[in-house]
Structure 1
Amino acid sequence: MDVHNVDLTISAVAEKQYPNTQFPEIAFVGRSNVGKSSLTNVLINRRGYARTSSQPGKTQTLNFYNIEDKLYFVDVPGYGYAKASKASRQKWGQMIETYLTKRQQLQGVIALIDGRHAPTDDDVSMHEWLKYYKIPTLTVATKMDKISRGKWNKQESLIKQSLSLDANEQLVLFSSLTKQGKNEVWQWIEGRM
């Protein structure tokens, strides 16, 4: 999709604040600092539109980005951030679970993992959880420009094995620096609209 118009419609903490449209929604989930904002910025052809932060755990709301009045990207708070209080993590967890399981406009989830490492226990749990709820999911390995091209196949195998991805589950290797993987991610998104 060629993106010209993007609008951060609302940063929501409760169901009653979600946009009241029938636009399809694609949610972005992943650990804190995995690159959700960077992926969003590449997809919408903007620099710094979705806020990137060096401080993990910064996003504490569901951020709804209206893309061309056709769909919403929904940036979900990162998981696995130890410094957030247990009460905060519990509150975010309930907000995220409610959104992912009850929102009828949700057409799929892009689950981001750091491509430089093996998926964490939290990544594996999230993958299993999304699979359990039968939510269409695209797994995207971020920060691929930070490892040498010769190690990509090894990393890809490690990620697929760790997450037990089957033949029907797509994994995209992504770099916000080189834009590697951008077209594959858009193809998947457009297939959900």
Structure 2
Amino acid sequence: MIHLQNAEFVRSAAKKEDFPRDGLPQIVFSGRSNVGKSSVINRILNRKNFARVGNAPGKTSHINYFRIDGKFYLVDLPGYGYAKVSQAEKARWARLIQSWFDDPGLMTLGCMLVDARHKPTADDCTMGEWFKQAGKPFVVVANKLDKLKKSEIEPNLQRIRDTLEIDADIEVIPFSAEKGTGRPDLLGQISAHLGEGLL
């Protein structure tokens, strides 16, 4: 049983040689730099400031690894789509992320974050293609649900599904890092792919 009690930062990987390959499952999180990725990770772990919530988007320029209960890694990919980063830096991030996806032994489950309020961007669609091509299970987490009216939720979730062109068997989880909505569903997915129960 995994209790999410013991969460430790392990390393920031700047190149593929830095990726841990110790056989532990890796649950990877990706998303635009302002989608609230750190807040979602903090909500999952029920920690306030575990994954640093940056004031300036685009702060995460490496792949950050957090080991949970000694049983698996949460992997935080660099946020993408941030305008104030140089083209050279964006290209470096893309190469780093691509090298992670190219290694078939790494990903156990992908969690692709999008903003529930908006149509996914071209960058989101590119990230979606990387997840599809990886051939590993992934879910789409539609964060910032608390910013939507009830009547907007279903149409917005459908628009996300249509824009990303994802199959019906891929779950789109409505989520609010602010309120905790969707946490049990996301933990259920993580638990199922770890093959262990989460408390």
Contact kept, 8 Å, 2:101 with 2:130, in 1: the verdict is no
TM-score scaled to structure 1, two decimals?
Answer: 0.95
Contact kept, 8 Å, 2:21 with 2:106, in 1: the verdict is no
1:109-153: CA deviation from partner (whole Å, max 9, x where unpaired): 100001111111111121122212313211000001011122111
Query: Taking structure 1 as reference, are residues 103 and 58 closer, same or farther at Cα in structure 2, changes over 3 Å only?
Result: farther
1:15-47: CA deviation from partner (whole Å, max 9, x where unpaired): 222234211001101111111101100111100
| 2:47 matches 1:46 | yes
Give aligned-pair identity as a percent: 35
- The match for 2:80 is 79
The whole-number CA distance in structure 2 between the counterparts of 1:17 and 1:165 is: 31
- The match for 2:96 is 95
Q: State which drifts further: 18-27 or 66-75.
A: 18-27
Please report how far the alpha carbon of residue 96 of structure 1 lies from its aligned counterpart in structure 2 after TM superposition: 0.8
The whole-number CA distance in structure 2 between the counterparts of 1:97 and 1:113 is: 19
Amino acid at match of 1:22: G
Amino acid at match of 1:107: T
The whole-number CA distance in structure 2 between the counterparts of 1:169 and 1:29 is: 16
Contact kept, 8 Å, 1:5 with 1:67, in 2: the verdict is yes
1:157-191: CA deviation from partner (whole Å, max 9, x where unpaired): 11111112221111000001211111111111112
What stretches of structure 1 of length at least 5 have no aligned partner? none
- The match for 2:181 is 180
Contact kept, 8 Å, 2:100 with 2:106, in 1: the verdict is no
Contact kept, 8 Å, 1:66 with 1:73, in 2: the verdict is yes
The whole-number CA distance in structure 2 between the counterparts of 1:21 and 1:84 is: 33
Contact kept, 8 Å, 1:112 with 1:142, in 2: the verdict is yes
Query: Taking structure 1 as reference, are residues 132 and 106 closer, same or farther at Cα in structure 2, changes over 3 Å only?
Result: closer
Contact kept, 8 Å, 1:33 with 1:53, in 2: the verdict is no
Say how many residue pairs are matched: 193
The whole-number CA distance in structure 2 between the counterparts of 1:116 and 1:40 is: 19
Please report how far the alpha carbon of residue 103 of structure 1 lies from its aligned counterpart in structure 2 after TM superposition: 5.3
- The match for 1:23 is 24
Amino acid at match of 1:189: I
SS at match of 2:108: strand
The whole-number CA distance in structure 1 between the counterparts of 2:128 and 2:25 is: 21
The whole-number CA distance in structure 1 between the counterparts of 2:81 and 2:21 is: 30
- The match for 1:59 is 60
- The match for 2:197 is none
Any residues of structure 2 matched to 1:1-16 within 5 Å, and which? 1-16=2-17
Query: Taking structure 1 as reference, are residues 54 and 103 closer, same or farther at Cα in structure 2, changes over 3 Å only?
Result: farther
